[in-house]
């Protein structure tokens, strides 16, 4: 019986993105694909990691994860948490998060996959493009709040404008 495999994601993604194959390590025991996105507005590298997680109760999942290229200042964490919660409410793929202790700001989503067939290239590509779009659109406002450069009220106004704007096709 066919099942989802990382090689199928690699075949789909390689048609539209540069990729890095990430071998398993002690911290991450499963192979991953690093989708090399265009640099952010400040020219910093961004990589969206794709991981097919081992099945649980016959359910396969694909995780997309991107650590954003900035950290949250301790004094800004409460405002950033509120902005993330506000933003995630309206996202088609949830979403943004933070690891306050480490200062991390990230995007992470889990996409359920049918266990009895190969990975659908359209699901992989559309999920990746959507994550890329959300990183481009929301990353700057998240960074401004994370660093304390923008207040929460103004950031929520901007985030609401973004979520209400029509989404372009890639």
CB-side neighbour CA atoms (13 Å) of 116: 0
Provide the residue ranges of all domains of the chain, joining segments of one domain with +: 6-164
Which pLDDT does position 32 carry in this prediction?
96
Q: How far apart are CA 71 and CA 108, in angstroms?
A: 16
The domain defined by 6-164 carries CATH number 3.40.190.10: no
Which pLDDT does position 121 carry in this prediction?
94
Q: What is the DSSP letter of 74?
A: G
Which pLDDT does position 103 carry in this prediction?
95
> Which pair of structure tokens corresponds to residue 147?
């660093």
Mean pLDDT in order along the chain per 10 residues (170 residues): 90 97 91 97 97 84 97 97 96 93 96 88 96 96 97 96 74
Which pLDDT does position 170 carry in this prediction?
58
**80: cis peptide before it, omega within 30°?**
no
> Can you give the chain as a three-state secondary structure string?
CCCCCHHHHHHHHCCCCCEEEECCCCCCCCCEEEEEECCCCCCCCEEEEEEEEEEECCEEEEEEEEECCCCCCHHHHHHHHHHHHHHHCCCCCCCEEEECCCCEEEEEEEEEECCCCCCCHHHHHHHHHHHHHHHHHHHHHHHHHHCCCCCHHHHHHHHHHHHHCCCCCC
pTM: 0.92
């Amino acid at each position: 019986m066919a099942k989802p495999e990382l090689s199928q994601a690699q075949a789909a993604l390689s048609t539209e993105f540069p990729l890095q194959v990430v071998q398993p390590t002690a911290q991450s025991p499963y192979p991953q694909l690093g989708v090399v996105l265009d640099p952010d507005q400040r020219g910093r590298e961004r990589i969206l990691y794709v991981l097919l997680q081992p099945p649980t109760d016959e359910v396969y999942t694909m995780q997309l994860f991107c650590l954003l290229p900035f950290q949250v200042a301790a004094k800004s964490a409460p405002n950033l948490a509120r902005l993330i919660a506000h933003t995630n409410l309206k996202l088609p793929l949830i979403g943004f998060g933070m690891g306050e202790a480490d200062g991390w700001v990230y995007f992470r989503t889990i996409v359920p996959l049918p266990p009895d067939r190969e990975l659908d290239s359209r699901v992989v590509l559309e999920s990746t493009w959507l994550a890329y779009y959300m990183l481009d659109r929301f990353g700057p406002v998240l960074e401004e709040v994370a660093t304390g450069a923008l207040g929460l009220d103004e950031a929520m106004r901007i985030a609401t404008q973004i979520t209400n704007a029509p989404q372009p096709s890639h």
